[in-house]
A and B are shown apart, each in its own frame.
Chain A
Amino acid sequence: MINNRVGTRLFLRTFFLQSLWNFERLQNIGFLYVLYPVFKKLYPDKEKRKEILLRHVGFFNTNPYMANIVFAMIINAEEEIAAGKSANTKKPEMLKSVMSGPIAAIGDSFFWGTWRPVTAFVAILLSILAINIFDADFLWVAPVAFIFLYNVVHILFRYWIFVISFRLNEQMIKLVAKFEITYIGDIVRIIGIAAVFTTLYFYFDLFGFAPAVNIYSMDCTIPEIGIYGVILLFSFVFGKIRPVIMFYCAILFSFVIGYLGL
């Protein structure tokens, strides 16, 4: 039933999952929008289709990158029901509620908690290197590297789980359970930590030890390496403070340092 053309169309529609995000049922309309072409094919009778659409208009929420697993499994379940191979009409609803939470936890922790910060930081490292070596001529490297690194993994992963979930169907649950996401996440985080320390070295080399090789060639005060150490330790230890408070504290700290003439 799902040929390449329909599959591609469905895949492109998945990017709209949160376009009508609302507080009451979160991604429910996005969910209907993605699956509508499938329902139209499976249930040509309008009255029957109405019943199916109303059945799927309820609450839906998961990580948008991982949602493709749920979509593929629900399409398989609906195909079985429409073909008369299964009479369990509650199965799609059950799949929605059972799968959404666990896969959301995996997606949130890996993509938003690990992959995004690490790729962003690798991009920052490349820029600091560019400033160090080429004197700010290659700053465009940071945004390009970030978008490229992040999306190569993100889009390929989204496509891969969409395709593989169709093939494996319920076996996908076993595959998800086997995902060594904590292990992969730890490796990526260690790369992130290495990137932070490398950036710190180059940053201090640029702006900390000697008259600054400034990002601008204009006069400025030269921060001391000791002050940097205090700031680094403070923000590392009190990292749970709300960022907005931390920001204004940093401004206040800079004011005090400037006022004292340090």
Chain B
Amino acid sequence: MTDVKSSVTISVNGRSLEAAPGELLIEAAERAGHYVPRFCYHPRMEPVGMCRMCLVEVEGPRGATLQPACYLKVQDGMTVVTDSEKVKKAQDGVLEFLLANHPLDCPVCDKGGECPLQDQTLAHGSGETRFIEEKRHFVKPIEIGELVLLDRERCIQCARCTRFSAEVSGDTEIAFSGRGDQIEVAPSPTEPFDSTFSGNTVQICPVGALTAKPYRFSARPWDLEQVESTCTTCAVGCRVAVQSSGNRLTRVLGVDSEPVNHGWLCDKGRFTLDSIDGNEESLDPLSASTRLREPLVRVNGELIATTWGSALNRAAAILQDAAKSPNGVGAIGGAALTNEGAFAWERFVRGVLGSNHLDAQYDDGLDGALLQSLPKATIDEAANARVVVTLTGDLREELPVLFLRLRENFIKRQNALVEFAFASSGLHSLATVSMPVRPGEAHLVAEALTRSDGSLLKGSNVTETELNETRRLLGESGEGVVFIVGRPNVAEDAGVIESAVRVLAEKFTSATFLPALRRSNVMGALDMGFGPKLRPGRGYVNDDGRTTLEQLEALRSGEQKAVLLLGCLLGNVLDVEGASAALEAASVVVVSGHGGKTLEYADVVLPAAVQHERQGTVTNIEGRVTAVTAKIVAPGSAWSDVAIASELAEECGQSLGLASEVQCAKVIEETVGYPALSVLNDASDEGSVAGRTKERVERRPLDPMAFPGIRSTNTAGLAEFAGAVVEESVSASSSPVSATLSVVSAGRGVEVPAFDAYSLVLNVSRRLYDHGVAVQGSPALSNLVAKSTAYVNHFDLDRLGLATGDVVEVSSPTVTLNLPVALSDATPRGTINVAFASVDENGDDVASRILVDPSSAITQVRLETK
């Protein structure tokens, strides 16, 4: 960076224009209004100049020659012509060549109507084909994975999908095979194309070669309408275009948001639409694929449909009655709500019911107040940080698009990654240092890092070399370091990671933190006060609010009489039996969009709108508040949460003063200064990061291959600008203060029992495809749920005389399960890793999580061969 010239001047079609040094000609020209046609070029991948569609004339030592605009970097004084006869002939030639072997099946092609090849042919093609030979033939579409079909005849060899696979997702599950005009995209001979990110290849394919099974033949582009929104399947907050045909959701496409997702999505976010539309035949309230359409009340042990009036009446009676006794009522759930929904319910629980017991997490996250007290990093900052330290689960499984953004940091910018390696992780191969940390040990490792000796770590797998290398990378104050903190192991007391986080935050005062909580809008719910000691607008009050576990215990003991469940509980908690007993003992009001086993215990069920059916704002892991937009109308008589909370308050004889989402957003912004209405008013905006100053980021032009000209689009939301940040950090209302490390109690030590030499310590980790509503309700995804397996290090396998595939009895203090074992050296010695939710070879649910002993900070299990 010695030659710091901030701009160069080039001439395009006789007009001179300024461009950034090193900028690609295709982009500079486009900004100046000279659109150069293209196929292979993708703004988020390295240019390869293969399709040759973007040839333009560039003046050089040998006169004007044809050069690919997508590959050439601008240089001062460059003279370019994009519209000469010669350019036109070259481009028409390429188009004609592309069509030579291209089948004439546009009428039955998914891409028909939104195909850049079709569009350009209509615009420039001669209309008359000169190609009378037999076209190239391949077997028509082959299923290359659970979600994707490949029609090789339609492929134009732009290598967008294969490059995505190698360069962006890094899993190279598809690659070019063959040569010349027999070149084809091909999967592995043995493994299916099941990348977590496979849907992106479909989106960026310029033609109909790659199609998504869930979308195939479901709509024609001209019937589609779209809005821009935010995906809330996990907490990364990817920007999306949500499309529907009539009142049916048809497709979700990634929008290129500079600060967040760069246009990418994970397959779970992209393909969960079926769960939202619901299985229309299913009326079984206990099934997660059922969308709740009407309020239900329990009469003579049966849930029966009723009117909103009587359901609200019953619910109000239950909750108010319980609220009469001190600590008699509380609420659990809420991470799936919008900020407005969470704010309304918080007002209802604290204001109307007078209870401080509300918790948006199911004891599988981290203390909300502790997270609020940390200096925060944005996703972009983490993706550019000098050193990233992960103390979290496998990000590829938990927050997939964050994984993509981070991966780029280590591959392209060669920055360092330090892993607290709890189990296998998608980033493992990129780690500079990978410290094999056992459950119950992370805080000790953190402490060891703050000292110059590793004496705290007797018996640990972590070596002094690893500690030293990490210390060197972190430096004295952690300048340029981003810690990504989440919950790697739900079988481990949250206190372990919380203590580690506190130790690191206190020592490395220049470092910043990016929370890696995974559940949709959990950060927004916490910001809206949906947790013990939390208040709207990131306020902190040292109250005695109960966590989920504590509420369940109080319900079992009878101290708490009733519970308001926002979403289903049983699918989410570790201790299913304990939770069932608690619900059995209590009065239960459920507000949910989907059915589920929890409803077996419900006294009243109030049907709610879910994502893509409601308006509002949500907050992602970095604290970015963005708008969500309703694309379709919720089924039956389901209402939005703001409406349900308000009406329930009215039924209780009080008013929340929140007549609509917009009003709610207004109240949030006015009372606690949290960006809500300002974001909602400008839905085209990339949102605001709470607590940061505003800066506008220009949004790139949308990739025309991924967003071809869809007719009749409601483009509200497809905006020109990205990213705006509010002026000030949120102001706390009178009594609450801002959470700081010194006032927050979480992370001040944890009791971990001694490791038993004959046992393995249990790690229960999350997988992307779990048994949540999204997967259960989406037939396309349900086959992707992990097979239940216990992963063990090869030392332990050898020690126990086991081999991959052996079925063993895994005994914990709570239960014994039969599980096949498999080798995984990513699992630290002395530990055993299972998935939170998985299926056996018959596809039956195996809740490996029931191995967890909730009474202990760690669970130790023994293995025996059958």
Our verdict on whether A and B bind, yes or no, reads: no
Interface, chain B (partner A; CB < 8 A): none
Interface, chain A (partner B; CB < 8 A): none
